[in-house]
Amino acid sequence: MSSAARSHEAAELTACDREPIHRLGTLQPHGFLLALQGPERRIVQASANVPAGPDGVLGRRLEAVFPEIAAALAEAPAEASAGVGARHLRSLTLGAGSGGLSDARAYDLAVHRSGDLTLVEMEEAAPAGPAGGLDALSSRLDAFVEGLHAAPSVADLCHLLAVEIRHATGFDRALVYRFDRDWHGTVVAEDGNGVLPSYLDLRFPASDIPAQARELYRRNRLRIIPDAGYEPVPIVPPLTPDTEAPLDLSQSVLRSVSPVHVAYMRNMGTQASMSVSILVDGALWGLISCHNQAPRRVPLPARNACDFLTRIFALQLAARERGAEAEQRLRLGAIAQRLLGAMAETEDFHDGLLARPDDLLALADAGGAAIVTAGTCRLVGRTPPDDAVRGLYRWLSAAHGGEDVYATEALAEAHPPATACAETASGLLAIAVSQRSATYVLWFRPEAVRTVKWGGNPAKPAIADPAGGPARLHPRTSFETWKETVKGRAQPWSLPEIDAAKDLRAAILGIVLRRAEEMAALSEELQRSNKELEAFSYSVSHDLRAPFRHIVGYAELLRAREGANLSEKGRHYLDTVVEAAFAAGTLVDNLLAFSQMGRNALKPIDIAMNLIVEEVRRKVMRDVAPDRTVHWRIGPLGRVRADPMMLRLAVENLLSNALKYTRGAPEAVIEVVREPDRDGEATFRVRDNGVGFDMAYVGKLFGVFQRLHRTEEFEGTGIGLANVRRIVERHGGRVSAVGELGRGATFRFTLPLCA
C-alpha cells in the first residue's frame, strides 16, 4: 500500500473512531430496556417500546411494574450484574397485564451494570433453531471437542469452528476472521450453503472495524443483528438524569449499531448477522462473523452454545500457539547457546559470532547479517552493500540510539534510502550492543512480494457531513475481489525472534562486561609491573653510566700515557675497548630514555607538523656525508595534538632510520606526507627507497633490541623504533610498517587531530 493510501486510511480511521457507537441512544426493536437506579430499583430510563410506554414506567419501582423481573433479579446472585458483558439470567414469561402487556409473552432476561445504573434487557424469545435442542447441541459439542484435539493445524481448527457455528445458528455463511498486527482482517476459514458468495482468503482493511469497535468486540463477546432493516428504538429520556450524558450501552445485547455498519451490511447483501469475539489471553485475536441473506433470529440457547464453542476453541488455539511459540523459543535458545559458546572462545565477540555464520542467520531466520562499528563493517549472507549498511548504522545511531532493539518489516517506510536495498533488506532487526562505542548487530530479511486479495477496494472515501460535523466514513458498495501487490515488506519478525535477539544482546553485554573487568584487573597488574620494570631499568641504566664512563676514561689515559709502550695489537685492543664502552654507554642512554618515556607525563598541545619535521630534518642532515644525494619530499602536514618533545623524538627516529638505511642508494628519496584523515585521526607516512626488510619479521620491528640488519652493516641499538611505538601509542595512535628487501620501507603512524 502506498504512503498516500496509508495516510488516507489513517484519516478515515480517525473519522470513524470519533463516532460514539456505544452511546447512540437507540436499541434494536426485538426487545426492550429498563435502566434501574438505587437499591429500590427505580426506573429512570426505558426504551420507547416498553409495553406500558415510557410514561407508564418512568419514576416507578420495578416490582410495581414488572413483578416477574423484580423477582428474578432478587433470586439472582449479587455478582450477576457485575463484571464484563451482559449476564443472561434465564428465560422469563411476563403475564398479561404485567407492564401493560395484553397477553403473556416469553423473554430472555439479561442484566449488566452501566455506571451506577443496572440495565435490564428483555429480548423476545426466538423460536427454536436448527440445532435440534439442547441434547443435539450437547452431542455436537462432544464431537467438536474431540475434533479440536484431532485437528492437525490452526487452519483446520478454524474450519471446524466455522462449520459448528453455522450449524448451531442456521446462517447462510459463517466466517472465521483473523486480525494481523495492523488490524487488517483476513478470512481464514468459512462454511456456507452457497446463498452468499465465498469470502475465504479475502482481506479487509482495519477501517472496516475501527479501534473503538474492536474494543467493544473485546468487552462484549457476542453481538447479533436479526434484521438490518430495523427501525431504531430511542431511549427515553435520551440523557441519564444524574450524568446528563447518553446511556453507555457498551455491554448491551440490544444496542443499535452504527448507520455505517448497517449500510455496510446492506451493501454486502446481508440482512442478518451475528459476531462472536475470539479472545486469546484477553486480547482480540479475531471474530466469527455470520451472515444471512434474509432477516434471521437466533434463539438464546444457540447463541450461548456458540459463545461456549468459541471459548473452547480459543483455549485450544492459545494452547497451540503457546506450544508453537515454546518450540520456537527452545530452538532459538539452542542456537543462542552455540553462539554464546563460540563467543566465549574468542577475544572479540565479533569473531565468535562470525565463526558460526549459519547460526547467526538462523537466530532471526534472516537472509543476511552485519556487525557494524564506527570503523568496521563485517557482513554475512545476503546483505546490502557495505556503504548502504554503514548508512543504516548512522541512521540507527541518530534516530534510534536510545533503543536496545529495533525491528521493522518495512524498513523503507522508516528509512527511505533503504528502498534501493529492498531485495536484501526490506526487514531489519537490530540490537545495540554498546551505546558508548555504537556497535550494532543487524539482521536483514528480503522483500516478500505477495498479492493480497481484498474484499473490495480498501480505500473508502470519507464524505463531508452536510450538517457541518466531522467527515463520515462511506462504506464501500462493492465487495468484489480487489487485488493489490504488496512490495517493500518482509515477513514480520516474530516475538520469539525479537526476544532471542534481546537475549543475545544481554549475553554479549555480559561477556563484554566480564572481559572488561578481567582487562581492568590485568591492566592494573600490568601497570604495577611496568612501573616496577621502569624503576628497575631506570636504576640499572643510571648506575651503569658511571662504570662505562670510567672504562672510557681509563682507556684514554692508558692510550695517552702508555700508548708508546704498547704493540700494534695492544693499541687495537685498546681501541676496541673504547668503542665498545662508547657503544654500551649509548645503549644505556637510549635505554634510560626509553624508560623515562613511560614515566613522563604527556603535555599535548596543538603542533604544526611541518615545523617539527623541518627542524628534525636539519638536525639529522648535519651528520650526512657531503657527497650523499638526498631528495626530501615533504607535503603539507597540517596540525596535530601531541607532546612536542616526544613527537620530536619519534620523528627523529623515523627520519634517522630513513637516512641510515638509504646509505647505499645512489640517490636517497625520503617522503613525508599526510594521508586523508578518518575517524578523528591524522595519518602520516614516512617512505624511503633504502634496503627495506623482510615482512616475515615485521612483528619484531618495534621490539626493544630487535634488529633486522647486522651491526656491521648499520649502526644502532635497536631501541629507536620501540621508542616510536611507545610515543605513538601513548598518544592513542597506532604505528605500522611495510617493507620489501631492496625496495625500501614505509612507516605509518596516527595522531589525534586538533580539538
| End residue of a domain, out of 95, 124, 153 | 124
Distance (Å, whole) CA 395 – CA 444: 15
The rounded radius of gyration (Å) of the Cα atoms in the chain is 44
State the pLDDT at residue 13.
36
Place of cell 549472507: 381
Place of cell 623515523: 654
Domain that holds residue 649: 600-752
Domain count of the chain? 2
CB 699 within 8 A of CB 713: no
* Phi, psi of 416, rounded to the nearest 5 degrees: -50, -35
State the pLDDT at residue 458.
59
User: What are 333's three cell numbers?
Assistant: 535458545
Instruction: Tell me if 324 is assigned to some domain.
Output: no
Taking every pair of Cα atoms in the chain, the longest distance, rounded to a whole number of angstroms, is 157
Between helix 720-730 and helix 644-661 the angle, nearest 10°, is 140
Distance (Å, whole) CA 262 – CA 91: 29
CB 99 within 8 A of CB 66: yes
Instruction: Tell me if 745 is assigned to some domain.
Output: yes
Instruction: Tell me if 683 is assigned to some domain.
Output: yes
CATH number of the domain encompassing residue 60: 3.30.450.20
| End residue of a domain, out of 124, 141, 156 | 124
- 26-27 and 31-37 strand pairing: unpaired
- 368-372 and 31-37 strand pairing: unpaired
State the pLDDT at residue 16.
43
**Residue spans of beta strands (DSSP E) within 456-611:** 462-463, 472-473, 481-486, 605-608
Nearest-CA neighbor of 552 among 574, 535, 532?
Answer: 574
Nearest-CA neighbor of 442 among 394, 406, 399?
Answer: 406
State the pLDDT at residue 513.
62
Distance (Å, whole) CA 747 – CA 726: 15
Q: Is 606 helix (H, G, I), strand (E, B) or coil?
A: strand
| End residue of a domain, out of 77, 101, 124 | 124
State the pLDDT at residue 538.
61
CATH number of the domain encompassing residue 687: 3.30.565.10
CB 182 within 8 A of CB 206: yes
State the pLDDT at residue 680.
77
Instruction: Tell me if 310 is assigned to some domain.
Output: no
Instruction: Tell me if 690 is assigned to some domain.
Output: yes
CA dihedral 198, 203, 206, 210 (to 10 degrees): 10
CA dihedral 699, 700, 702, 704 (to 10 degrees): 150
State the pLDDT at residue 252.
87
CB 474 within 8 A of CB 463: yes
State the pLDDT at residue 716.
47
Residues 6+ apart with CB under 8 A from 319: none
CB 643 within 8 A of CB 732: no
Amino acid residing at 437:
S
Note if the bond before 130 is cis, omega within 30 degrees: no
Nearest-CA neighbor of 428 among 465, 469, 395?
Answer: 395
Instruction: Tell me if 712 is assigned to some domain.
Output: yes
Distance (Å, whole) CA 561 – CA 513: 70
Residues 6+ apart with CB under 8 A from 671: 633, 634, 685, 686, 687, 688
First to last CA, the chain: 49
Listing from the earlier edge strand, what are the strands of the sheet with 745-752?
630-634, 668-678, 681-688, 745-752, 735-739
Q: Which residues of the chain have pLDDT under 70?
A: 1-22, 78-85, 128-139, 435-437, 449-486, 512-545, 548, 582-601, 699-700, 703-718, 755
Distance (Å, whole) CA 99 – CA 92: 14
User: Can you name the residues that pair with 450 across neighbouring β-strands?
Assistant: 486
Instruction: Tell me if 205 is assigned to some domain.
Output: no
Instruction: Tell me if 88 is assigned to some domain.
Output: yes
Distance (Å, whole) CA 230 – CA 47: 15
